[in-house]
Amino acid sequence: MFDLPSTPSEADSTGFTGEAIACLHNVSKIYPNGCRGLHSVNLQIRKGDFLFITGPSGAGKSTLLKLLYGAEMPTEGQVEIEGNLFHRLRGRALAHLRRRIGVVFQDYQLIPTKTVEENVAVVLHAQGACRTEIQRRVGPTLRMVGLAPKAKCFPDQLSGGEQQRVSIARAVVHTPPLLLADEPTGNLDAHNAWSVLQILKRLHDLGVTVIVTCHNEQLVEAFARRVVRIEAGILRELPVLT
C-alpha cells in the first residue's frame, strides 16, 4: 500500500499543534526588475485543505507557490510553514522543512536520461535512503499514479499525462504532508487533466494538504473545493464550491 500518513494530524510529526500548515502574513513580492508579483496577501491554509489558486496569466499564482516553498522570499511580510518562519531558517532546519513540501511543475521537469523509477527515486537518493527503502517506496508510489508498468521507460517514451503522473510520484514519494502543484494540468487535454486532479484528490484523501494553481476555471468549478483568486497580485477568497 502507498503509505502516506492517513490523517492530516498524523502527517504533522514536527510537534506543530496549530490548525494551519501554511500562512502568508501580509506578504508582498516585488521582483528586482520592479514587477509586482503579490500585494499584501494574507492567507491561511489549514491542514487537510484542498485549495485551488486561480487567476489570469501574470496574476501572481506561481509567485505565491514559490514563496510557499522558499524559491522566492517576500519583499514584505512573512511566510510560515508548520509554525516556522521561512526567512529565519538556515542549513539543516531549512532542508528539513523543504523536505516536508512536495512540488509539481507544469513542465514536469523530469530527467530525460533516467527511467521513470529512477526519476521518482531521485529525491530518496538525495535524502540518503538505502536501496531497500527506495524499493519499498517507489513501487507503491508508481502504482498509486497508475504507472507501475512503465517503470523502466524513459520520459520521452511517455505521454504528457504520464509524465505529469511521474512528476507527482516524485513529489510525494518521500510522503511530504504538503503538496504544491503549479499548473499541473496546464499542458494536458481534458481527460488527462481530470485524471491528474483525481490523483491529487486521492493524495488529499490520504491526508496530504494540496495547493494547486489552475487558470482553467471550468476545471476548478467542476472539482468543487476551496478557491482563492489572484488578480494583479491581489488575493481574494471565493465562496466554497459545493
Ligand X SMILES: Nc1ncnc2c1ncn2[C@@H]1O[C@H](COP(=O)(O)OP(=O)(O)OP(=O)(O)O)[C@@H](O)[C@H]1O
CA–CA distances in Å: residue 218 to residues 54, 222, 224, 231: 11, 6, 10, 17
| 115 part of the interface to ligand X, by CB under 6 A | no
| 62 part of the interface to ligand X, by CB under 6 A | yes
**What single letter denotes the amino acid at residue 134?**
I
Footprint of ligand X on 21-50 (CB under 6 A): 31, 33, 35, 37
Q: Compute the radius of gyration of the chain from its Cα atoms.
A: 17
**What single letter denotes the amino acid at residue 139?**
G
| 215 part of the interface to ligand X, by CB under 6 A | yes
| 63 part of the interface to ligand X, by CB under 6 A | yes
Q: Given strand 50-54, what is the order of strands in its sheet?
A: 101-104, 178-182, 209-213, 50-54, 226-231, 234-237
C-alpha cell at 27: 506578504
Taking the complex as a whole, how short is the minimal distance between the CB of residue 211 and ligand X, in angstroms? 13
Taking the complex as a whole, how short is the minimal distance between the CB of residue 134 and ligand X, in angstroms? 33
| 60 part of the interface to ligand X, by CB under 6 A | yes
| 55 part of the interface to ligand X, by CB under 6 A | yes
Residue closer to ligand X by CB (options 49, 72) is 72
| 59 part of the interface to ligand X, by CB under 6 A | yes
The per-residue b/e assignment along 6-34, b for 16 or more CB within 10 angstroms, e otherwise, is eebeebbeeebeeebbbbbbebbbeeeee
- For 124-225, list the strands marked E by DSSP: 178-182, 209-213
Taking the complex as a whole, how short is the minimal distance between the CB of residue 31 and ligand X, in angstroms? 3
Taking the complex as a whole, how short is the minimal distance between the CB of residue 229 and ligand X, in angstroms? 11
Residue closer to ligand X by CB (options 60, 176) is 60
Interaction site with ligand X (CB under 6 A): 31, 33, 35, 37, 55, 57-63, 215
